[in-house]
Amino acid sequence: MEDNLLVEENVQIKGIVERKLDEVPIEYVSPNPDQPRTNFKQEEIEELAASIEKDGVLQPILVRMVEKNSYQIIAGERRWQACKFIGMKTVPIRIKEADDDKALELALIENVQRADLNPIEEAYGYRRLMERRKMTQSEVAQAMSKGRSTVANALRLLELPEEAQQLLFEEKITAGHARAILSIPSKEGRLKLTEKLMEEKISVREAEALARLLSGKKNEGSASSRQPIPQSYKTVAKTLREVLKTNVRVKSSKGKNKIEIEFKDESDLERLFEELISSAS
C-alpha cells in the first residue's frame, strides 16, 4: 500500500521550477499519457482510498499546468485514483513547471524510487527517455541514479517475445524467468519456453534447465564428454593390464587424457609400484 507520501520531495531535476501549493476540483486534474506506470491494481487503490478517507491526503499530487484549470499529473496518479474512488470533490496539488520530456523524466524517477514499476514498465520508460531526449544508456543511468548495467539489463527485457513481455507485465513470471528466456539464442527457442511458461507454472530453476536444453548446451556437453578413445590409447591400456595384472583404463574428456590403475589395498599398491619401477629401469 502506498504510504501517502511523495518521494519527489527529495528529487530535483534541473529545469523544473516549483510554483505553488493549491487545492483544485478533482476534474481539473488528469493523468499523464506518458506515465511510465500503467498497471494499477484495484486492491491497492482501495487500500489507499481507505487510508485517505481516514487521514486525508497527507501530501499533494505533483502536477504541471497544461492550460487554465487544467493540470496533468507528474507523480501521484494512484493517490488521484484513490481520491476519485471515495468521491472527493477537490484534491491538493503542488504545481511545477516542466515540459513533456522533463515531466516524463520526473515521473520515471518517482516511480523507480518507489519501486512501483514492474520490470517491463521500467524498461519502456528508459527507452522513451532515450528516444525522446536522445539520451544514452549511461545518461539514463545517471539521471535515474542507477548503474549502467542495471539500465542495460532492463532494456534487454524488450528483446523478449511479446507474449513473454505480457506475462512479465502481468506478474505471471519473474525477471528470473525472463532471463532464462533471453539466454536462448534463437527466436524459436525463446518462443518455445515462453509457450511452456504460458501453459504451466514452473520455477526459475526449471526454466533455466529448459533454456539449456533449448539452447543445445546440454547436448553439446554430452557430445564432448563422449569423444571416441583413439585405438592407440586402447592398445596401451591393454598392454598395461597384462603387465600389471590389474584393470587399467584410459580416459579422454574435454581435451584432457588420464590413466586409471586399480589396486586392492596397500600391499597391492606396493606391488604395482615395484612393477612400475622395475619396468622403468
Q: What does the alpha-carbon distance between residue 93 and residue 80 come to, in Å, rounded to a whole number?
A: 10
Q: What does the alpha-carbon distance between residue 29 and residue 194 come to, in Å, rounded to a whole number?
A: 40
116-154 pLDDT, tens per residue? 678 888 888 888 888 878 889 998 888 888 889 999 999
Mean pLDDT (the chain) is 80
State the pTM of this model: 0.52
pLDDT at 20: 54
98-123 pLDDT, tens per residue? 777 777 777 777 666 565 678 888 88
Tell me which residue has cell 483544485: 24
6-22 pLDDT, tens per residue? 333 333 334 444 455 68
192-225 pLDDT, tens per residue? 999 999 998 899 999 999 999 998 765 444 444 4
165-195 pLDDT, tens per residue? 999 988 899 989 999 999 999 999 999 999 9
pLDDT at 97: 78
Q: What does the alpha-carbon distance between residue 161 and residue 48 come to, in Å, rounded to a whole number?
A: 34
pLDDT at 207: 93
Residues in the chain, overall count: 281
- Amino acid letter, 256: K
Cα distance between the two ends of the chain: 83
51-103 pLDDT, tens per residue? 888 888 877 888 888 888 888 888 788 888 889 899 999 998 888 877 777 77
Average pLDDT in the 261-267 region? 85
Is the pLDDT confidence value at 242 over 90? no
- Characterise 103 by phi-psi region: left (phi > 0), alpha (psi -120 to 50), beta (else): alpha
Could you list the active site residues? 77
Q: Give yes or no for a contact between 92 and 55, defined as CB atoms under 8 angstroms apart.
A: no
Q: What does the alpha-carbon distance between residue 181 and residue 214 come to, in Å, rounded to a whole number?
A: 10
pLDDT at 221: 45
